[in-house]
Amino acid sequence: MGKRKGAVKVTVQCHGCDKTQTLRPSKIERCDAYACTWEHGPREELAPGLVREIVYNAAGGFWGWRDVLATEEDAQAVRRAREIAVLGVAESVVHDAARRMASD
């Protein structure tokens, strides 16, 4: 069988290993990179002001991600999450100190 015109396929490679997926371009969601498992995902820290969009099944069985400029709404959500995380840490430190004092 000869190759039909227009049956172009694109091969994407996993970010973390040699696995590939070969698909028609229309089946591939444009991402910065792709990975076969979560472990093979991005190791780079997100630059400030960016949010990482996760795309499930971006290319066949691979998921993908893209770092995009955060909207003001995203930036607020990130700040809120960070504040909550900081508060959570502070609270557990206080609890530990209280437990230690109680056990003395």
List residues binding Zn ion (CB under 5 A): 14, 16-17, 19, 36, 40
CB of 41 to Zn ion, least distance (A): 9
**Judged by CB, which is closer to Zn ion: 17, or 97?**
17
**Judged by CB, which is closer to Zn ion: 20, or 50?**
20
DSSP category for residue 98: H
**Judged by CB, which is closer to Zn ion: 39, or 72?**
39
CB of 38 to Zn ion, least distance (A): 10
Residue 25 to residue 20: CA distance in whole angstroms: 14
- Dihedral angle of Cα 37, 13, 46, 70, to the nearest 10 degrees: -100
DSSP-assigned beta bridge partners for residue 20: 13
CB of 16 to Zn ion, least distance (A): 4
- Phi, psi at 10, each rounded to 5°: -120, 140
